[in-house]
Structure 1
Amino acid sequence: MSEPHLQFLFDFGSPNAYLSHKVLPGIAQRCGVDVDYVPVLLGGLFKLANNRSPAESMAGISNKPEYEALELRRFVQRHGLEAYRRNPFFPVNTLQIMRGAVAARRLDVFERYVDAVFSAMWEQGLKMDEPEVISAALTSAGLDAAALMAMAQDPAVKAELLANTQRAFEQGAFGSPSFLVGDELYFGKDKLRDVEEEILRQKRAGSVA
């Protein structure tokens, strides 16, 4: 019997991806599954889907931005994520740090890299599109910044990030955070409960099959 395959399509530039990252380990533990983190480039995904960022799409709409901020506060409080801080430099160009995520997997430091960069973005509020800031954040986390930043420039790494983004679009994604439980797509941190229920449903179905 194969376990449900849970993919997390993420870009460090999304605060909701950070919040999902903090909650996913609990879901994985409760459900007995692993989470496959898939780095995608949100700007590229927006272009493919003809989508816009929430800041653009909600501009000029009364009450909706305020409600979204309220929901974010509720989520933070519900899950005890008091370390979260809005990044003062938002939006940040994430091209280099997303390439770095692909490089980190090749250098076998992926989990440490993801934790460090999410923390730098959404806990420390750093401007993570400046090379010297990226380097300092990685070094502070005990990572080899020079090796990671060099590998991030490898053409194969760049191609892999583009391929991930294209595949995410073909799987139905239009933004981040997105989740795939098998072929079932879910979007947004508010769908994490549905993600958990779908994992358990697929596990039950698999045990009967």
Structure 2
Amino acid sequence: MDGSGSVGVHPPKREVFDVPAMTNTDNKGVVRPVRTYTETSFGLYMSRTADHPRFHHLESWLLPALGLRASIFHFVEGHRTGQRLYLDVGRFAGPDADGRWHAEDWYLDLVDVPGTPLELIDVDELVEAHAAGLMSTTETVRAVEIATAALVGCAERDHDIDRWLADVGAPLRWLDERAGQSGAPASDITRG
């Protein structure tokens, strides 16, 4: 920790979503098996188990055109925070020539608690990353624009993030909605 009270900024976190291999590789190089990948015209859905002390399952949508990753963390007993969606701001792209998708987290996050305005967090991390030269001015400005679009769009729809996402071309479906479908394999890749 330096004299400013900062713990020190980390480089942008990068992840790989390897659809053909049915794996997700995190920023530290840990490779985890994926239960489901679904590719659509607007993004990539992933569902996988998690070995985290606070949640046992993770669902995520990478939404390249919106610069967002929307996630639902299925928390273990005692760790539910009231949040529904957690949105990472960043650069998301795919598939590449090998069928992999890539994520680069640009520090800013939005927390969705139903019935309340989205909460923007980690602004300090973005500012510190820019000051440290880890984010260009163009990337930093773009991160703020992405977060602002989500904040305004959600606010204009009575704080309903799902409604805003559907209105901008990303009608998200989640595991809870898929659970009623019969015959869904435990591990699958679908393209829509």
The TM-score with structure 1 as length reference comes to 0.28
Which structure dedicates a bigger proportion of its chain to strand?
Answer: 2
- Which structure features the higher share of helix residues? 1
> TM-score normalized by structure 2?
0.29
